[in-house]
Structure 1
């Protein structure tokens, strides 16, 4: 296949190298990371599901966050592990767009869930007397459904539009399929798709960011007028969420900056590092942050171990 052919049936990742004797080392390291992600997230999910004292909005959102980590990791790691061991790095066109959809919805679900968690903490700390009347099981269910279905539908349509493009190339300067790298191979004018994509990317990052900043500004104002004991309890429940949200926003910002950069001007090592960062660090750090910092979850886990 040459670069002038239209609508290739597969794509080739060009950033994979022949690691030689280090191939097995890289594979085992990545497999260990993937197994750790699965184990850590499953522990949190089972802890929340099996202990009735954790059937509260905050822990339900944490459980959903861990489920989303498993979802995003499943869209990346199996294929990535195969590519490490393989001498050729081709992926079929349908599988590439499936991976694009899974990874993009994983990012959108993560931001939506973190925003819902910020709303939950805002009501719990700033309006404690109305918390149980506002954050009912029905409201929590509606929030979870909304955070899942809205990004799934919007990104499903956008991914479909990208998949219908005629392409004049098949080489992706990535280790994973991304919508931006595929659209750049288009034979037709993609100004509209690129503009809409950038608008969606900016809005899905900055609207949740501003919302979370607003809620925590209100929380800080309430804590400032409260007792030291109240501030300690508020910080205990809010700090893991703040760390998780900041970490994920930094990851997304790096990945978004990479998408806007010209492929030939970026060092391949930087591309690989930024591509892996948001797919490895959040799924790995989320269960550790919540499992170690929230005494309710930590206590239940210790109880299971004993």
Structure 2
């Protein structure tokens, strides 16, 4: 336990279980998952960037999504792999704050990117004749820039408020650094952190949720008013996005509940898996939803890599 009179130099991640020799099994599984995430998201990003026929707004948003999966996974997995093999689960304070920034911006960018994609689908389905004029490559690039800039600035402020605190403890009951749990260790006044934390939740959830709800309400109106063929086409276009949105919301909800409420009745292994859910499943799910479901990407992907191998 660190005293508030001296600067805190490290944190202890207290949620790791003593699994003995099983640590090597968990390390292998975690490493395979990380390599799989790197492989599929990197390859799909390369395919979209290299192939000119995919240089359209919809695929640019997908590329931003895949890059964000790589960013968020890299913020989690390398440190997690080191901690699995370690007997003393310590992490330096600067590295802990860096991980907080990476994971929290990842979550915000993911949600904001899904909001922008829902708006793109709204324009494509509700205004198909005006879509290309309104959603140009330039406007798509501006939206992507705003998504990343907005999320980064928001959590730079969050992190700057956390770094200024004095801490009376250094044990974080988690598998990775979480801002809320770090703030709970402070022995200085955290009122500003709490107020901005509530405001930050609003910025992270309500702001992207509004365009998502608006877009899909309008899309549903078009579906019900149109022909059966129109409904089927709209459902085919929107289904991957809805599945991705629901999965990410489900995972984020569990992470939030697990860090803020008493979950002592939940088995330890399940609780730890749920805390990692949105950081592991989402980066694996999105390439499957978009890379395999979209026939154009699937066809170009197969042609690109098969021709390289042969």
TM-score bracket for this pair, using the shorter chain length = over 0.9
Which SS does the other structure have where 1:129 is aligned?
A: coil
Q: Quick check: 1:197 aligned with 2:197?
A: yes
- C-alpha displacement at 1:188, in angstroms? 1.5
Which SS does the other structure have where 1:99 is aligned?
A: helix
Residue 279 of structure 1: aligned partner: 279
Which SS does the other structure have where 2:12 is aligned?
A: strand
Which SS does the other structure have where 1:11 is aligned?
A: strand
- C-alpha displacement at 1:270, in angstroms? 4.2
Q: Quick check: 1:179 aligned with 2:175?
A: no
Stretches of structure 2 lacking an aligned partner (at least 5 in a row) = none
Residue 164 of structure 2: aligned partner: 164
- C-alpha displacement at 1:269, in angstroms? 3.0
How many pairs does the alignment contain? 306
Q: Distance in 2 between matches of 1:5 and 1:72?
A: 34
Which SS does the other structure have where 2:123 is aligned?
A: helix
Q: Any residues of structure 2 matched to 1:218-237 within 5 Å, and which?
A: 218-237=218-237
Q: Any residues of structure 2 matched to 1:50-65 within 5 Å, and which?
A: 50-65=50-65
- C-alpha displacement at 1:250, in angstroms? 1.2
Q: Distance in 1 between matches of 2:212 and 2:161?
A: 31
Residue 289 of structure 1: aligned partner: 289
Verify the 8 A CA contact 2:4 2:166 in the aligned structure 1: no
Stretches of structure 1 lacking an aligned partner (at least 5 in a row) = none
Residue 31 of structure 2: aligned partner: 31
| Greater mean deviation of Cα atoms: 25-34 or 287-296 | 287-296
Verify the 8 A CA contact 1:205 1:249 in the aligned structure 2: no
Verify the 8 A CA contact 1:5 1:169 in the aligned structure 2: no
- C-alpha displacement at 1:27, in angstroms? 0.4
Verify the 8 A CA contact 1:165 1:186 in the aligned structure 2: yes
1:160-218: CA deviation from partner (whole Å, max 9, x where unpaired) = 11011000001111110000010001011213312321231244123322321221111
- C-alpha displacement at 1:5, in angstroms? 5.6
Q: Distance in 1 between matches of 2:202 and 2:268?
A: 25
Q: Distance in 2 between matches of 1:277 and 1:108?
A: 16
| Greater mean deviation of Cα atoms: 279-288 or 296-305 | 296-305
Q: Distance in 2 between matches of 1:51 and 1:2?
A: 54
Verify the 8 A CA contact 1:236 1:293 in the aligned structure 2: no
TM-score normalized by the length of structure 2:
0.94
Q: Any residues of structure 2 matched to 1:203-218 within 5 Å, and which?
A: 203-218=203-218
| Greater mean deviation of Cα atoms: 201-210 or 179-188 | 201-210
Verify the 8 A CA contact 2:97 2:177 in the aligned structure 1: yes
Residue 49 of structure 1: aligned partner: 49
1:204/1:15 CA distance change after superposition, 3 Å? same
Residue 77 of structure 2: aligned partner: 77
TM-score normalized by the length of structure 1:
0.95
Verify the 8 A CA contact 1:12 1:91 in the aligned structure 2: yes
Q: Distance in 2 between matches of 1:299 and 1:60?
A: 17
Residue 269 of structure 1: aligned partner: 269
Residue 14 of structure 2: aligned partner: 14
* Aligned CA-pair RMSD: 1.7
Residue 138 of structure 2: aligned partner: 138
1:113/1:58 CA distance change after superposition, 3 Å? same
